[in-house]
Structure 1
Amino acid sequence: MLMQDEVKKFIYSALKSSFWNLLFGGRILKVIRDALNRYLPPNAHQLVAGKLHVIITRVRDCRSVTVSEFASREDLIQALICSCFIPLYFGLLPPMYRGVRYVDGEIGMWRASFVSRTTITVSAFAGEYDICPKDSPAAFLTFQISDCILQISKRNFCRLLYIFHIPTNQVLEQYFACGYQDTVSFLKRLSK
């Protein structure tokens, strides 16, 4: 738990300390890269090999690519950075992974069915994902992305606004605690 608190403190202070956070995307990718460089063990790429599958979208043809083997720790970090890159929000020039430009994996998933019975879907927004916030079941509208359904609700709209304006540490703590609990609940359901 101590490491987890240290990582959160590092990220919160890095996000809070810059004027650039007021602009779209701010320094968020740099903060993520710095946190990964600081806290991932030297053999992280070996520890996750074959277990972590990162889905990224190749820019030139908008095809989703899954990466689960990483040549080095930096290779893993670069794949994760590409998987976080939202075009326009984080900038105009997407990051490169193994010499090719990639963006967030969700963008290309509509073109191919990556979701199977063994895929664990995760979202920061409420919907029909394995791990996600649980809003009111009475969502009146939904939006389908690939094989997952996103709820159109007041709380999801608030979550979307926080993408453009970083919330207070108290709100971040609340989201972290809820995300942690959603994950624990999923793992309990999975083990039954």
Structure 2
Amino acid sequence: MTNTNLFREPNKCCRPVNRRRKINLSFAGCGFNGIYHVGVAVCLKKYAPHLLLNRISGASAGAIAACYLLCDLPVSSVTSDVLELVRLARKRTLGPFSPTFNVQDVLEQGLRKNLPEDAHLRVSGKLHISLTQLPGFRNVIVSRFYSKEDLIRALLASSFVPFFSGSHPPKFNGGYYMDGGFSNNLPTLDENTITVSPFCGETDICPRDDSSQLFHVNFANTSIEVSKQNVHRIIRILYPPKPEVLTKMCMQGFEDTLRFLHNNNMIKCAQYIAVESTFLVSSKLDDDTEEIEHDPECKDCLRQRQEAIGATLPESVRAIFQEAVDAANKGLVNWLFRIPGMKILSFLALPYTLPFEIVYATITK
């Protein structure tokens, strides 16, 4: 018997049309809430990698997340680095406010270790970093980087919070800058920009809290709903929570992104992604290149969306969080601090221990 499937016309996922619509991404600055962006990144890389082919903007932690995505760094190593940063911040009595903890130094070490030598070539023209210029608090968006060092300086400048990160703002391109979140925390490149924020509000990808949603505050272009949950998230900007809470935040980032992709029909098959990649390359060479239109009846895309229903964080990522949870709960010191009153005693001892920490921090600097 003849197999008619051999002569069946292949599934056509997309066709050219005279319409240009490139989708960009924007990640909000959010401090230690940045673990939410890790969950978003995992979901995008798995179910919508075609959204990572265009321009990505961000401020502070959002800019670092955008840079890592454009450089296609392994999510596992990025997750481990974020959790290590949290561990170093939480192990001190004053947490990240301790004189012996310098968040800028830890960030710089991570950037130098993770970013490839050609990182500036990979992201130049695609990564848009929000900075706040000093003096004047004017917002500046930079997208051209001439070396890896130049890129690192821009990322560190976008993450500098006065007094929390240090007393002297970093220098970049001959000027002084601080956290871009003070002037434009969620830089929107155009009307086709998908915005991402760990704060519940009117952002495209964000948590959806069970609240009235009547009152919103717009801070530096970031919509934040007035709610109890957002108060906790604001506190976490500068003070990281326990690994158990970080795990939930990352999972929520994954689930919120998956919900957005489902609702907007953005989960595509491998064929669509391949055609989209080819289109982007050719469009850079020829401004008259036609856009592509997706076939809503593509069986491969429908199958991909069906498989994504109920998906969760990959086991490899969850294992990294579990290791952090286990490490935070084992050992004599951690056991002692779980005893009621021990944390209070450590704060009462601050008048005696803090001077030594200040002296140590001054000498090492």
In the superposition, the TM-score normalised over structure 1's length comes to 0.81
Partner of 1:166: 240
Alignment-derived partner of residue 68 in structure 1: 143
Equivalent residue in structure 1 for 2:164, among 74, 89, 110: 89
Deviations 1:34-89 (A, max 9, x none): 21111111211111121111111111222111111111112111111121223343
Q: Return the letter of the residue paired with 2:266.
A: S
Q: Could you give the per-residue CA deviations for residues 146-188 of structure 1, whole angstroms, max 9, x where no partner exists?
A: 5442111100001112234321111122212222333444455
Matched residue, 2:266: 191
What secondary structure, in the 3-state scheme, does the structure 1 residue paired with 2:218 have?
Answer: strand
SS in 2 for 1:109: coil
* Corresponding residue number in structure 1 for 2:174: 99
Residues 169 and 58 of structure 1, relative CA distance in 2, 3 Å threshold: same
Partner SS, residue 36 of structure 1: helix
Match of 1:57 among 125, 132, 157: 132
1:15 aligns with 2:120: no
What's the CA shift for 1:10? 3.2
Residue aligned with 2:236, SS: helix
1-structure distance, mates of 2:168, 2:261: 37
For residue 225 of structure 2, give the secondary structure of its aligned residue in structure 1.
strand
Q: Is the 8 A contact 1:10 1:35 kept in 2?
A: no
Counterpart residue type for residue 149 of structure 1? S
Distance 1:162 1:147 in 2: 19
Who is 1:156 aligned against? 230
Where structure 1 has 5 or more consecutive residues not aligned to the other structure, the ranges are: none
**Consecutive aligned runs of 4 or more in structure 1 exceeding 6 Å deviation:** none
Count of residue pairs brought into register by the alignment: 190
Report if aligned partners of 1:82, 1:96 keep a CA contact under 8 Å in 2. Answer: yes
Contact between 1:21 and 1:27, CA under 8 Å: does it hold in 2? no
1:32 equivalent in structure 2: 107
Q: Which amino acid aligns with 2:180?
A: G
What amino acid is the match of 1:23? F
Question: Counterparts of 1:23 and 1:81 in 2: how far apart (Å)?
Answer: 18
Q: What secondary structure sits across from 2:217 in the alignment?
A: strand
Unaligned runs of 5+ in 2: 1-74, 268-365
Aligned partner (choices 108, 117, 131) of residue 191 of structure 2: 117
User: RMSD of the alignment, in Å?
Assistant: 2.9
**1:178 maps to what in 2?**
252
Q: 1:23 and 1:149 mapped to 2: Cα distance? A: 27
Asked if 1 retains the 8 angstrom alpha-carbon contact of 2:182 and 2:220, the reply is no
2:219 to 145, 162, 169: 145
SS of 2:108's equivalent in the other structure is: helix
**In 2, Cα distance between equivalents of 1:106 and 1:153:** 21
Structure 1 residues 137-146 or 28-37, which shifts more? 137-146
Deviates more, 1:83-92 or 1:182-191: 182-191
Bigger mean CA offset, 2-11 vs 65-74: 2-11
Q: Is the 8 A contact 1:115 1:147 kept in 2?
A: no
| 1:91 Cα offset (Å) | 3.5
Q: Which residue of 2 aligns with 1:80?
A: 155
Structure 1 residues 151 and 47: CA distance shift in structure 2, 3 A: same
Q: Structure 1 173/52 Cα, relative in aligned 2: closer, same or farther at 3 Å?
A: same
Taking structure 2 as the reference length, the TM-score comes to 0.46
SS of residue paired to 2:184: helix
